[in-house]
Amino acid sequence: MEISKLEKEMENNLSALGNLVFMQHKGEEGLEEEVDRLLRSTGELETEIAEMHEQIVRLNPKPPTCPSCQTQLPYVAKFCYICGAKIINDNPAE
């Protein structure tokens, strides 16, 4: 799914940022531009991910409930965490 791709990309950005900051700490010069670029693109990714989460909530206004015990479950649930029943996703958007 698109959103997990973005989240992975963000993770990569963050670990690259961590590396750069560490290199700067060790006295490496001229990394400011790269740090700045990564900070900007990470910020953009964060916005994009937040927008996608909002879209998901809009598309699925009601969270799924367990067909067996009626527990309200997270959007991504495939199985009920209370009774283990399989969740039937009646939203064919995916």
Residues found near Zn ion in the complex (CB under 5 A): 66, 68-69, 71, 80, 82-83, 85
Provide, rounded to whole angstroms, the least separation between the CB of residue 9 and Zn ion: 35
- Residue with Cβ nearer Zn ion (19 or 68): 68
- The residue assigned the tokens 């039937």 is 88
Provide, rounded to whole angstroms, the least separation between the CB of residue 61 and Zn ion: 21
- The residue assigned the tokens 């001229």 is 30
- Residue with Cβ nearer Zn ion (41 or 71): 71
- Cα angle 77, 46, 22 (rounded to 5 degrees) comes to 115
Measured in Å, how far apart are the chain's first and last C-alpha atoms? Answer: 9
- Residue with Cβ nearer Zn ion (38 or 66): 66
Is there a contact between 35 and 20 (Cβ–Cβ < 8 Å)?
A: yes
